[in-house]
Amino acid sequence: MHISTLFGALPVLIAILTPTTFAQTWSFCNPMNQTGCPNDIALGISNYSIDLTSQIMSTDVWNTTAGTINYDFKEGAQFIIEKKLESPTIQSNFHIFFGQVEVIMKAALGQGVVSSIVIQSDDLDEIDWEWIGGNQTHVQTNYFGKGNTTSYDRAIWHEVQTPQELYHNYTTDWQKDKTDFYIDGQVIRTLKKEEANGGKNYPQTPADVRLGIWPGGDPKNNEYTIEWAGGAVDYEQAPFTMAVKSVRVSDASTATEYHWSDQTGSMESIEVINGTKRAFGLDGNNSVSPAQTAAQRWRALSDTAKIAIFCSVGGVLLVAMGIMAFCCIKQRRAGKKERVLADAEFEKGTAELLAFRAEMNRQRALRMQDTKSGLGGNGYQKF
Ligand SMILES: *[C@@H]1O[C@H](CO)[C@@H](O)[C@H](O)[C@H]1NC(C)=O
Ligand SMILES: *[C@@H]1O[C@H](CO)[C@@H](O)[C@H](O)[C@H]1NC(C)=O
Ligand SMILES: *[C@@H]1O[C@H](CO)[C@@H](O)[C@H](O)[C@H]1NC(C)=O
Ligand SMILES: *[C@@H]1O[C@H](CO)[C@@H](O)[C@H](O)[C@H]1NC(C)=O
Ligand SMILES: *[C@@H]1O[C@H](CO)[C@@H](O)[C@H](O)[C@H]1NC(C)=O
Ligand SMILES: *[C@@H]1O[C@H](CO)[C@@H](O)[C@H](O)[C@H]1NC(C)=O
Ligand SMILES: *[C@@H]1O[C@H](CO)[C@@H](O)[C@H](O)[C@H]1NC(C)=O
Ligand SMILES: *[C@@H]1O[C@H](CO)[C@@H](O)[C@H](O)[C@H]1NC(C)=O
C-alpha cells in the first residue's frame, strides 16, 4: 500500500461524506410477457473499453447486482467468493444490439465454482461462456433464444490452456446472421442463425453484458447443477477468484435507446432510437470525467485497504486523521451491512439464473439418461 495513494484519495473524502443519490427504478421486465417495459439504453459506440488494472467501473455504467468487486493493480477486477453463497456479479446498464464483447480474464479455481461472461437480453436471449473451477482444460460456450432451455447441442466445450492460471482474450462477435466465438484471436465456434431452431432461437434482441462468479456446486443447488458444475464446492478452499483485466464492447448501432415495439422478441420488432445523447456517460477509456473515476476508485477499495491507508499514515495532520478515523469506522460499518445485504442478495439476484441453469441441466441429464437407456431424445417430455 503506497502512502501516495492517500494523497490521491484525500480530495475524495469530501465526496464520501456527501451522500449520493442514485435512483434505481429499473426492474426486470420481459417484453415478451409484459407490455410497457422501459426502453433499453444503448451503448451506441464501437470500442468502449475499460482497463481494470488502472480504472474502476462507474456505477452509472455497471450495476453490481450481487456482492462487491475488488480491484487489484495486477489482476484487475476481482470477483471473489470468500464464503458460502457469495456470487459477485456485475451487469452493464448499457445494451448492445449485435456487436462485440471482449473480456481479458482468468477464471476461478475451485471445484463447483463457475466463472462466467453472459450477454443477455430482457426476453432471455443469451450468449455465454462458462468456466468450471475444477476443469483446467476447457471452457463452455452456450446460447439461448427467448429463454428456451430445451437442450440439444447448444453447449459446447472448447479446449483452452489453463484458463484459471492464464489470462486469455475471450471475444464474442455477435452479428445478425452468425456469432463467432474467439479465444486469443482464433475462432473456436461459429453459430449460424439458422442453426438456432431455424433462427427463432437465435439471440437477436438488445442485450446487456454480465460478468460474475457463482457457486454452481453449492450443496443447496439441485444435483444436476452440482454435477454440471463439476461437484460440490468446498468452501474450506476459498477464496475463489475470477479476475478481469479489461473489457471492450462494441455496439453495432449508434443508437441511444432500443424500444421493444411488440411481444414477438424478433430482431425486426426492435426500434432503434437515434437520440442525441445516451442517458449516462461512460467510464474507462471513454470517460469524460477523470475526477469521478478517482472517487469511484476510493469507494471501490476494500475496507481493509481503506483501514491500511489510514493506519499507514501516522503523523499527518491531526484534523485530517480525526476525519479519517471517523470515515474509517463509518465505512467499516457500512461494509459489514453491505456484506449482510450481499448475502441476502444471492437468493434474490441469483435465484433466477440458478433456476434457469438447473432446468437446463435437469433436461440435459434426463436426455443423457434416456440416450443411455436407448429411449431416444424425447424421453424428457414424459416428465
Ligand atoms: C413468459 O411467458 C412464457 C409463456 O407464457 C412463460 O413460459 C415464461 O415463463 C414467461 N417468462 C417470464 C420471465 O415470465
Ligand atoms: C475496435 O477495436 C477492434 C479491435 O481492437 C479494431 O479491430 C477495430 O478497428 C476498432 N474499431 C473502431 C471503430 O475503432
Ligand atoms: C485504454 O487506453 C490506453 C491508452 O490509450 C491503452 O493503452 C489501453 O490498451 C486501452 N485499454 C483498453 C482496454 O482498450
Ligand atoms: C441494479 O441491481 C440491483 C440489484 O439487483 C437492482 O435492484 C437495481 O434495480 C439495478 N439497477 C439498475 C439501474 O439496473
Ligand atoms: C473438462 O471438460 C471436458 C469437456 O467436457 C472433459 O472432456 C474433461 O474431462 C473435463 N476435465 C475435468 C478434469 O473434469
Ligand atoms: C481479442 O480478440 C479479438 C478477436 O480476435 C481481437 O479483435 C482483439 O484485438 C483482441 N484484443 C486484444 C487486446 O488483443
Ligand atoms: C425450443 O427449442 C427446441 C429445440 O430447438 C424447439 O424444438 C422448440 O420448438 C423450441 N420452443 C419454442 C417455444 O420455441
Ligand atoms: C436510426 O438510425 C438507423 C441507422 O441509420 C436507422 O436504420 C433507423 O431507422 C433510425 N431510427 C429511427 C427511429 O429513425
pLDDT for 372-381, tens place per residue?
Answer: 333 322 222 1
Query: Which three cell numbers, joined as nine digits, stand for 17?
Result: 461524506
Q: Who lines ligand 7 at CB under 6 A?
A: 148, 150, 152, 197, 200-201
For residue 140, list its beta bridge partners. 130, 157
Q: CB neighbours of 280 closer than 8 A, spacing ≥ 6?
A: 41, 60, 61, 93
> Is it the case that residue 296 has pLDDT exceeding 80?
no
Ligand nearest to C-alpha 153? 7
Nearest to 212, CA basis, from 358, 86, 51 = 86
Tens of pLDDT, residue by residue over 314-354, are 444 455 555 566 555 555 555 555 544 444 444 444 544 55
Is 287 a residue whose pLDDT tops 50?
yes
Position in ligand 4 atom list of the atom nearest CA 348: 5
Question: Would you say 230 and 240 are in contact if contact means Cβ atoms under 8 Å apart?
Answer: no
Q: Give burial (CB, 10 Å; 0-12/13-18/19+) of 199.
A: middle
pLDDT of 86 > 50? The answer is: yes
Q: Where are the alpha helices (DSSP H) in 83-169?
A: none
Q: Is the CB of 46 under 6 A from ligand 2?
A: yes
Sorting pLDDT into bands at 50, 70 and 90, what band is 15?
A: very low
Domain locations along the chain: 11-291, 302-383
User: How do 114-121 and 99-106 pair as beta strands?
Assistant: unpaired
Nearest CA residue ID for atom 13, ligand 6: 169
Ligand 3, closest atom to CA 285? 1
> What is the whole-number distance in angstroms between the Cα of residue 21 and the centre of ligand 4?
14
Instruction: Give residue 265 CA to ligand 7 midpoint distance, Å.
Output: 14
Tens digit of each residue's pLDDT (9 = 90 or more) over 247-267: 999 999 999 999 999 999 999
Which residue CA neighbors atom 5 of ligand 3 most closely? 285
Q: Tell me if 208 sits within 8 A of 94, measured CB to CB.
A: yes
What is the pLDDT, as a whole number, of residue 150? 87
pLDDT above 60 (res 2): no
19-23, 223-227, 326-330, range with the lowest pLDDT? 19-23
Ligand nearest to the CA of 152: 7
Determine if ligand 4 sits within 6 Å of the CB of residue 38: no
- Does the beta carbon of 169 lie inside 6 Å of ligand 6? yes
pLDDT given for residue 340 in this prediction:
46
Ligand nearest to the CA of 132: 5
Average pLDDT, the chain: 80
| pLDDT greater at residue 113 or residue 5 | 113
- Pocket perturbation via mutation, ligand 2, pick of 43, 45, 46, 184 by most ligand atoms within 8 A of CB: 46
Query: Which of 54, 52, 174 has the alpha carbon at shortest distance from 105?
Result: 52
| Arithmetic mean of pLDDT, 20-43 | 73
| CA-closest residue to ligand 2 atom 5 | 47
Per-residue confidence (pLDDT) for residue 312, from 0 to 100: 53
User: What is the position in ligand 7's atom list of the atom closest to the CA of 197?
Assistant: 5
Domain range 11-291, its CATH number among 3.30.2130.10, 2.60.120.200, 2.30.30.40, 3.40.50.620: 2.60.120.200
Q: pLDDT at position 85, please? A: 82
Least confident piece of the model among 45-54, 352-361, 370-379: 370-379
Q: Does the bond joining 203 to the residue before it have cis omega, within 30 degrees of 0?
A: no
Sign of CA dihedral 66, 70, 71, 77: negative
Predicted confidence at residue 333, as pLDDT, reads: 54
Closest Cα partner for 202 from 172, 182, 173, 175?
A: 175
Instruction: Judge if the beta carbon of residue 274 lies within 6 A of ligand 2.
Output: no
Nearest alpha-carbon partner for 269 in 125, 137, 163, 165: 125
Residue 201 Cα to ligand 7 middle (Å):
7
What is the CB neighbour count within 10 angstroms for residue 200? Answer: 15
Residue 87 near ligand 4, beta carbon < 6 Å: no
Question: Separation of 102 CA from ligand 6 center, angstroms?
Answer: 7
Please tell me the pTM assigned to this model.
0.79
* Beta strand 48-51 pairing with 240-251: antiparallel
Distance 137 CA to ligand 5 centre (A): 7
| 285 φ/ψ angles, rounded to the nearest 5 degrees | -65, -15
Show which residues are catalytic: 126, 130
Q: Which residue CA neighbors atom 7 of ligand 6 most closely? A: 185
Q: Is 246 in the pocket of ligand 3 (CB under 6 A)?
A: yes
